[in-house]
Every structure is written in structure tokens, then in C-alpha cells.
Amino acid sequence: MSLAVKFGLAVSTADALPSAFVVFRDDLCRVVDRCAALGYDGVELALRSASQVDVPAIRRRLAATGLEIPCISSGQVFAADGLYFTHPDEAIRRAAVDRITGMIRLAAEFGAKVNTGRVRGIVPEGETTATATARYLDCLGQCAGVAEPLGVELIVEPVNRYEVNFINSCAEGLDIVRRSSRPSVKLMPDLFHMNIEDPSFRESIEAARDYITYVHVADSNRLAPGWGHMPFAEIFGILSDIDYRGYLTAEILPRPDPDSAAQQAIRFLNQELKHAHDTKKPSEGVRRRGHRL
């Protein structure tokens, strides 16, 4: 059994909301350089709009550093602008779809996925989950229609009940992914949310193994991995068992300060992979890029 994973860090622009779950908020070119220097393989860009990215400038920094953009995430479209797929107002839903399709076109420039996390929205008061699901699937289908010809994946992220009241567990996420019947729609577990919502890391991850293409990591308190009580050794073992080959991107709070959090995350993830490697396959080496377990 082998597991080739890469490590990412969720970052954003200098004007990101204080509530955005990112370590660095800065000029994106500077952020790319900082993450490369720390040893990350990629940066996930948490955006409000595709227009925040200067594509040629970022391209130059990626080429110079070897860093990738594996994912563009869209939580601020919901949190800052109140746009989401389950909104009762059709014009708001259309604006949410427009914003996400802009991100899909941007993602196509970088070979990135697009995370449709909190932009999925909520079940509005007085409405049913069935109504919210129908609106959500309609919007997701429109986005998939744009994403598929461009080869962009849309990832559905279950998010815990204290942030949204819709698609909280991996089982609910998997159900929606299947119901979308779109080849571009995949599942993205976030360990922080799973730790709250899912009865078992192993059962949820194994059940969704054919759909998981990206993973958010954080410790139990959303600090950098290693600073809480998330069972990382067990989780790395499960990911190895399903032969997961994708990004593990740290989506964590910038505490006690951004540099310490970013350094701790990459140091701890490398150490856990090495530990899992030593435990499982003593004969294989650990590579820096596409860290092999």
C-alpha cells in the first residue's frame, strides 16, 4: 500500500474577512513565496471573487517556486457577500452561480479544483431540506456544466452544524455528490468538521473512497496539526488504506501567529507521514514532492 500526498496551505488576500479560515492574508505573490520557503507543495486560494487574482503575476511566482494552486475556495462568497445556492431569491442564487463560474474559469488556468463549501448555503427558516437540496443541485448542475468542458472538479465539503445547517456529515455529502450525477462533482472531507459530525473517521472515509479527491486538515481545535487531539496517526493510516493520492491542505487559524502556525503544520504533517511510512512500509523512501508513504 502506498500513499502519495502533497501538502497545501489555505491562504487569502490582505482584505480577507477576519473570520476567513486562513493562515496568511497578504499579497498573493508574497504568500506563494512564503509557502514555498516553508516547504509546502501548494496554496489554496480562499477568494471572494476571481477578479482578486492577477493571473500573469501569480503564474510567474508559481513557475519560479514550483508551487501549485490545487484548489480555489469560496467560503467568503457566503460569509462576506451572503450569496449562496439554497437562497430563496433566484437572483441571489444566480449571483452565487456567476461568482462560482468565475472561479471555475480561474481554476482552469491553474489546474485547480473549486471548493463549493459554505456557498452551498443553509436551509432557510421555514423551508425544508428537500427544497434546499433541489435548489442546491440545480446551482451545482449549472456550475458543473461550465466546469466539465474545462476539466475542473467541483468539490463538496461537509461543514459542521455550527456553521451551516445543510450537508454537515460526510454521509450527507456523499449522498449529494451521488445525487448530482455529475462526473466533475467530488467529495472533500475536512477533518475539523468530521471530528464534530462523523461517527467514525474510518467508516466515512472508506464509504466515500471513490469520491474523495481533496482533504482539509486541522487539529481538533482548528489550530495547526499537532496542537490539539485529532487522531492523525489513525487518519493517515485510513488514507493510506484507501490509497488516497491528493492534497492534504491545512485550513487552520493563524494562531499564535501566522508563521508559527504555518511552520507547525508542515513540520507535523511531514513527521506524521514519515511515522506512518516507517510503521507501514519500512523499505520505501519519503519524497519531498508527492511525499510517498
List interacting residues with ligand LER (CB under 6 A): 21, 73, 75, 117-118, 157, 159, 163, 190, 216, 251
Q: Which is nearer to Mn ion, 84 or 277 (CB)?
A: 84
User: Least distance (Å) from ligand LER to the CB of residue 74?
Assistant: 7
DSSP strand pairing (4-12 vs 291-292): antiparallel
Q: Closer CB to Mn ion, residue 115 or residue 277? A: 115
Q: Any contact of residue 219 with Mn ion (CB under 5 A)?
A: no
**Which of these, 39, 43, 38, lies nearest to 61 by C-alpha position?**
43
Q: Is 93 one of the binding residues for Mn ion (CB under 5 A)?
A: no
190 binds Mn ion (CB under 5 A): yes
> 68 catalytic, yes or no?
no
Nearer to ligand LER, 42 or 75 (CB): 75
Could you give the 3-state DSSP secondary structure of residue 63? helix
- Reference 246, options 137, 140, 115; nearest CA is 115
**CB of 10 vs ligand LER, minimal distance in Å:** 7
Which of Mn ion, ligand LER, none does residue 75 bind to, with CB < 5 to 8 Å depending on kind? Answer: ligand LER
Does 163 participate in catalysis according to the annotation? no
Tell me if 216 contacts Mn ion by CB under 5 A.
Answer: yes
Tell me the C-alpha distance between 188 and 180, whole Å: 15
Residue 163 interacts with which of Mn ion, ligand LER, none, CB < 5 to 8 Å by class: ligand LER
Q: Whole-angstrom Cα distance, residue 131 to residue 120?
A: 13
Of 262, 13, 77, 141, the residue nearest 270 (C-alpha): 262
The residue annotated as part of the active site, out of 44, 153, 251, 272, is 251
Which long-range contacts link 283-286 to residues 24+ away (Cβ below 8 Å)?
Answer: 284/2
Asked if the peptide bond before residue 256 counts as cis, ω within 30 degrees of 0, the response is yes
Q: What separation in angstroms does the CA of 281 have from each of 149, 239, 240, 276, 292?
A: 40, 14, 11, 8, 10
Catalytic residue among 68, 157, 197, 272: 157
Where are the extended beta strands (E) located within the chain? 4-12, 42-46, 68-73, 113-115, 154-156, 185-187, 214-217, 247-250, 291-292
Whichever of 61 and 216 has its CB closer to Mn ion, that residue is 216
Whether 107 contacts 143, CB under 8 Å: no
Nearer to Mn ion (CB atom), residue 196 or residue 207: 196
Using CB under 5 A, which of 41, 44, 251, 272 touches Mn ion? 251
Q: How far is the CB of 85 from ligand LER (least distance, A)?
A: 13
- The yes or no reply on residue 41 touching Mn ion (CB under 5 A) is no
Q: Which residues are known to be catalytic?
A: 157, 251
Residues that bind Mn ion (CB under 5 A): 190, 216, 251
